[in-house]
Amino acid sequence: MGWKLLPLILGLLFLAAACSGSSGGGNGSATESPEATAPAVAASSSESTGGGEPLEGGRFVRLFVDPPTLDPHLTTDATSATIIVEVFGGLVTIDANLDVVPDLAEGWDISADGRVYTFRIRPDATFHDGKPVTAEDVRWSLERVTNPLTEAPNVDSYLGDIVGVDEKLAGDALTISGVRVINERTIEITIDQPKSYFLAKLTYPTAFVLDRENVEANPKNWFRKPNGTGPFRMTEYKVGETLILSRNEGYHLGPPKLAEVEMILSGGTSMLMYENDEIDIAGVSLADLDRLLDPSNRLNAELKRAAPSFSIQYIGLNVNEPPLDDRKVRQALNLAIDKKEIATIVLGDQVVPATGILPPGFPGFSKSVSGYGFDPERARQLLRESKYGDDLENLPPITITTPGSFGANVSLDMEVVLAMWEKNLGIKTEFQQTEFATFLKDLNKRRFQMFDIGWIADYPDPENFLDILFYSDSSNNHTNYSNPDVDALLEKARVETDETLRFRIYNQVEQMILDDAPWIPLWYSGERYLLVKPYVHDYLQTPLIIPKLRHVYLTKD
């Protein structure tokens, strides 16, 4: 998601298992699927074979970390989103097959010109306190997130298609002209142009519906006791200790099978906690994978494998900051990294070297788009050809910033990247870390010269990568990249109704962006592994972050 700025923690390569939003080489993964198609199977289940009587309820326990925010309108990261999608909801959602399906809306109509969406709210949709969800709640939520005082980081990217949002964000209007309440259960939303992905954008937390009374009663801390609409209520949150989600019996799509989900926030070693039966699911680190793959290991039967997530880890280069303002310097930095060697030797082939921006298997992915291989000689030549020449003594200093605790060591893969730059280009790079929530704030303010982060898709459309991250005026364009030709093609793709032609435009755009090199794409992750207790069933392993805990159930043995 846009939610999907993920930092990298090598020991937790399986994003959704231990602490969603962390992944050592990146946020992500990819799948080897045919070009320009969605994966044949969107989700796999961790359900174990064998008997066992289903429990009515039970507590599912996992290791997690404190989320940077629990306000849906402010979230930009996967860690926060993983909890938020279980507590809140919007008019529509994404199911396990990666289809956009009804949530608070029971259905909708689209006008002949593709611009006017009329949503009918479910009569049984309620907040956690039993209060019915109305069209006015939807309208108020959209007005709140687009209020400049809310400072929602992603609102222009995800709701900017709605008529009047730009004016509201600029302070030129007090309300969104394109949102109209028809009656208590009907709301009309008008967008500026027909766009095939608009419905999918409404699945992002920026469009989630909040309870006005809940928010206004305690504006600064309302989300500590949220009155959401999702399958779970947040009944306890002690920072750095625990977060408890409890079943919403009145959930309109059917109550969860679990009674509670406990997120342990106090830290610990996931493998040790799993083996001591303290948690029910654990990510698998590279150090443990070989022994767990051994059929003679007692935990081998509990090892589950999932297809990669739709994500990418990358180094962002601020094109306004010297020496990264020179295209040839950026290209040289790309060419000076041997990603295949790092993926194999350092990361144990648990990641796939990224050749482009869109992950393999993602809609619009094309093998014809080509990034940078390892070519140190060409890298040195480009550096000499740049306006900085090979005068390394006077080359402006470079600092790379990553999310992490102060004083922590550089991740091993990043350490090797920096060493390769020094060896192959003679460029020394300084390294600094900032706490994750602070990192996200500074990232959104474009304060970094160079940064290491990841992106996991919010919905299965190439617009969610290429337009959201590289359009000149996008708030998620953290590199200050701007190419008028790219912008023109992205605007053309927005309204193209022929999917084949639209994907072809995106392929052209992706190649142009790669040539300009505002990014150094690093990794798509490979297959993901996790351990799941044999009494845990239907833990869906999806390539996107979606509400899924309501499907999980436990058995007695």
Which string of DSSP letters, residue by residue, matches 220-256?
Answer: TTGGGS----SSEEEEEEETTTEEEEEE-TT-TT---
Strands 232-238 and 242-247: antiparallel
Angle between helix axes 376-385 and 412-425 (nearest 10 degrees) is 60
Q: Which residue is it, tokens 């400072």? A: 151
Q: Which of 141-145, 361-365, 389-393, 482-486 has the lowest mean pLDDT?
A: 389-393
pLDDT of residue 525: 77
If pLDDT is split at 50, 70 and 90, which confidence band does 52 have? Answer: low
Dump pLDDT digits (tens) for 210-233. Answer: 999 999 999 999 999 999 999 999
The structure's pTM equals 0.88
> Residue 7 above 50 pLDDT?
no
If pLDDT is split at 50, 70 and 90, which confidence band does 56 have? Answer: confident
Q: Where are the domains positioned within the chain?
A: 89-224
Strand partners, 189: 117, 179
User: Is 159 within 8 Å of 207 (Cβ atoms)?
Assistant: yes
For 245, residues 6+ apart whose C-beta sits below 8 A from its C-beta are: 83, 86, 87, 232, 233, 234, 235, 260, 261, 262, 263, 549
**Angstrom distance (rounded) from CA 286 to CA 349:** 9
Q: Which CATH class is domain 89-224?
A: alpha beta
Tokens representing 340 are 């295949």
